[in-house]
Structure 1
Amino acid sequence: MKQALVIGASGGIGAAMVAELETRGYAVTGLSRSGDGLDVTDGASVTRIMGALDGPFDVIFVAVGTLAVDGAPEKALRQVDAAQMARVFAVNAIGPAMLLAQVERLLPRKGRSVVGVLSARVGSIGDNRMGGWYSYRASKAAVNQIVHGAAIEIGRKRPDAIVAALHPGTVATEFTAGYPGHDKVTPREAASNLCDVLEGLTPEQTGGFFDYAGREIPW
């Protein structure tokens, strides 16, 4: 049976990814802070919990992220708070970097495997025409760079592995509850779309940034 690992499995998108992957025939291992004590902002926690896994996993999906931790996204530069920005970066960029550092040994040495990391279109510098949301935008741009670098490094030893940053669309979760102005999809719809993308990516696309329909997003 194919094996999948979902990190952030207790969140809206993460839980839906677990369910969707199971319907597609995967045996799924889910990790989360609430279920397993995995704190992606704590390097020792990441090393301990990820180090206890054996693998190999055909699919690994990183579904961790925060919009603003304890506040709201900034609308102007004067609202940027250093401590708040650091907390957002800790979850959205540094955490995924520490997770990706543990991922390579969990992938098969030969044959196709895919790692998807949850990002967001607002992390695209080329697509930014509105400004604002400085911490969230910058942290997602940072994780995109981390994913791109990880794809290069992992690909040196595992040429059939695919590592990609993925934008799920605006998903109706607690994460987006305060932003009613966007068309939203359900977590299950988002998970189905993301799994389609994961299954359709090729090794030539590793290191890329894609939306829920598999379309490439500019950096």
Structure 2
Amino acid sequence: MEQALVIGASGGIGRALVAGLQAQGWDVTGLSRREDGLDVTDAGSVNAHLSVLKGPFTRIIIATGALEIGPHGPEKALKQITPEGMAAQFALNATGPALVLAHAARLMPRDAPAVVATLSARVGSIGDNQIGGWHSYRAAKAAVNQIIRGAAIELGRTHKQAACVALHPGTVATNFTKKYLGRHPAVSPEHAAARLLEVMDRLGPEDTGQFFDYSGATVPW
């Protein structure tokens, strides 16, 4: 039985990804702050939780992240940016995945196909930004996309069959997004998870270092 690791397993999408993988027959290890005390913004916490894992995991999914952190919501204008809000966005949405990815090489098989994916967001695309706003969240997601790109290059030197990618799950109806859905159609976490798993099933080493949406289409950087 192949093993999968889901970081952020107690969130809306994370929980649905765990259930979807288990339904497919995967042996799933799920970790989260709420249920396991894993704080991805703290290097000591990440090291303590991930260093004891054995693997090998042929599927690693980083499903952490938030649009609103504490009192800091997405900005509508530059004048609303605060150092605290921007730092919080980078800590959770960029530094956190980077700290997890630092363990990926040890946790993944070197001689078998594997996928490591981080949930990003289309609003992190610089080329696709047409309306501005949400500056800190956009910047943090753009940063994690760059981290994925660099991680793919590094992993490619030792894990020739691995794909390391960023994934946009679409607009998903969760507690984190319900205040901001507006006129955008949203799908359930279960539907989003099923689409993401289908995309990951089709990935190979030729796809590493890229940014895909829930349909498998490439998202511009």
Compute the TM-score of the two structures, normalised by the length of structure 2.
0.98
- Residues 92-141 of structure 1 show CA distances to partners (whole Å, capped at 9, x for unaligned) of 00010000001110001101000110000000000000000000000000
2:77 paired residue number: 76
2:35 paired residue number: 35
- Residues 121-175 of structure 1 show CA distances to partners (whole Å, capped at 9, x for unaligned) of 0000000000000000000000000001001001100110100000000001001
Superposition pairs of residues 74-113 of structure 1, within 5 angstroms: 74-113=75-114
2:11 paired residue number: 11
1:185 paired residue number: 187
Aligned counterpart in structure 2 of residue 210 of structure 1, from 189, 192, 212: 212
Distance between the aligned counterparts of 1:137 and 1:88, measured in 2?
9
**Please, which runs of 5 or more residues in structure 1 have no aligned partner?**
none
Q: Count residues in correspondence.
A: 219
Matched letter for residue 126 of structure 2: I
- Residues 168-193 of structure 1 show CA distances to partners (whole Å, capped at 9, x for unaligned) of 00001001110232100000000000
Distance between the aligned counterparts of 1:121 and 1:41, measured in 2?
22
* Alignment RMSD: 0.6
Matched letter for residue 153 of structure 2: I
Distance between the aligned counterparts of 2:202 and 2:176, measured in 1?
27
1:46 paired residue number: 46
Distance between the aligned counterparts of 1:201 and 1:130, measured in 2?
31
Report deviation, 1:35: 1.2
SS at the partner of 1:175? coil
2:127 paired residue number: 126
Distance between the aligned counterparts of 1:214 and 1:92, measured in 2?
22
Distance between the aligned counterparts of 1:153 and 1:118, measured in 2?
19
**Please, which runs of 5 or more residues in structure 2 have no aligned partner?**
none
Matched letter for residue 21 of structure 1: L
Q: Which runs of 4+ in 1 moved over 6 A?
A: none
1:68/1:84 contact within 8 Å kept? no
- Residues 7-38 of structure 1 show CA distances to partners (whole Å, capped at 9, x for unaligned) of 00000000000000011110100000011110
